[in-house]
Amino acid sequence: MVLGLIGILLMSAVRYFALVNRANRVNQAIEMVNVIYAAGERYKTVKDVYDQPTGGLLAAFVARGFLPDSYKAAVVMNPWGGVVVVGPDTSDTSKLIIALSGITTASECRNFVNKIKGTSCTTDKASSDECTDNDTVVVHCG
């Protein structure tokens, strides 16, 4: 009986840890988008529009001191281990696009998309119901 109780407690702890870990990844991704967008807004005060500088926009944001050196890496990783790609919106260069790939589960993707709706940015998903496992979400800011 004691072993059964210990087993139940252990399973509950593992489930709780997994749930908290998923929520943390979503919150870290939202923070990452906010930090990149804020850097982009500062960049736009200097350039008026988002361009395609040599080395990319993230490198330009770092070079101007708008982002920390951790964003200077050749490949910036998001909380799910996927790649973060930043560039101008080709249809409107006053807007910034931030793409996060490799969002592990559809539920994390849905949470991320729903939380983005509460910011000044939008996503390429008309609804969070469009999310799938191992998804990419393109965030439009500006």
pLDDT in tens, 91-107: 898 899 999 999 999 99
The b/e string for 119-134 (b: 16+ C-beta within 10 A; e otherwise) is eebbbebeebeebeee
Whether CATH 3.30.70 fits 2-141: no
Q: Using CA atoms, how far apart are residues 20 and 14, in angstroms rounded to an integer?
A: 10
Residue ranges per structural domain of the chain: 2-141
Instruction: Look up residue 24 and give its two tokens.
Output: 């943390």
Q: What is the reported pLDDT for 72?
A: 84
pLDDT at 137: 95
Residue 16: per-residue pLDDT: 53
Structural tokens at position 7: 């087993």
Beta-carbon contacts of 84 under 8 Å, excluding residues fewer than 6 positions away, are 32, 36, 58, 76, 77, 78, 98, 99, 100
22 vs 30, 50, 74, 84, 130, CA distance in Å?
13, 32, 26, 18, 19
Paired tokens of 59: 């490198």
pLDDT at position 20 is 58
- What is the pLDDT at residue 80? 95
Q: Which of 80, 77, 61 is nearest to 69 (CA)?
A: 61
Confidence (pLDDT) at 8: 66
| pLDDT value, residue 140 | 93
pLDDT at res. 51: 87
Mean pLDDT, 10 residues at a time, over the chain (142 residues)? 62 57 90 95 89 87 93 89 93 92 94 90 91 94 88
